[in-house]
Structure 1
Amino acid sequence: AEIFGETLLNVNSLHHQALKDIAPMLRVAGRAPDGVVEIVEIPEHPYAVGVQWHPEWLTDQPVTRRLFKSFVDAAKK
């Protein structure tokens, strides 16, 4: 997702479940090194982003702050 402004992210991927089948409306925007989907989005939607990690635990990271800021900015519209 363009929100992050980077192509490689370090995230806290702690889940024991993952997306297997991706709905046609979703676009995979990021994967872990093992291929697990970590970011999905709906390109036709003004703001529809899903992440498979815990950004609330990484609020000191600039990339995480961009995610939260983008959400707040979208909510203001």
Structure 2
Amino acid sequence: TSIDVNSLHHQAVKSAAPELRVTGKSDDGVIEAMESPERRFLIAVQWHPEEIDDLPWVRRLFQGFAKAARTAS
């Protein structure tokens, strides 16, 4: 699957920690997203979802975060 993101950064992740799984890379190989299969909700992105929150898949990301926060409290 391919998605467009607003990748605007001057730093990048060189390699993911052993407990993280790389789930997104740019065309030039820069790590753009990571997740933890061991945690209930741990998603790390190297872009700004808050700036493109009109896209349905970005809204689902925020909804998942809100749901995880509600169930954790």
Q: Same fold (TM over 0.5)?
A: yes
Q: SS where residue 32 of structure 2 aligns?
A: strand
Deviation for aligned residue 1:22: 1.5
- Structure 2 unmatched runs, 5+: none
Q: Give how far 1:21 is off.
A: 2.4
- 1:76 is displaced (CA, Å) by 1.4
Residue 53 of structure 2 corresponds to which residue in structure 1? Answer: 59
Aligned residues: 71
| 1:10-65 deviation line (CA, Å, top 9, x unaligned) | 10001111000211111101111111001101101000000000011001111110
Describe the SS at the equivalent of 1:16: coil
Residue 42 of structure 2 is aligned to residue 48 of structure 1? yes
Higher relative contact order at CA 8 Å, sep ≥6: structure 1 or structure 2?
1
Within-5 A mapping of 1:20-59: 20-59=14-53
Corresponding residue number in structure 1 for 2:11: 17
TM-score, normalised to structure 1's length? 0.87
What is the CA–CA distance in structure 1 between the aligned matches of 2:51 and 2:15, rounded to whole Å?
27
- Matched position secondary structure for 1:28: strand
Runs of 4+ more than 6 Å apart: none
- The Cα RMSD (Å) is 0.8
TM-score, scaled to structure 2: 0.92
Structure 1 gaps, min length 5 = 1-6
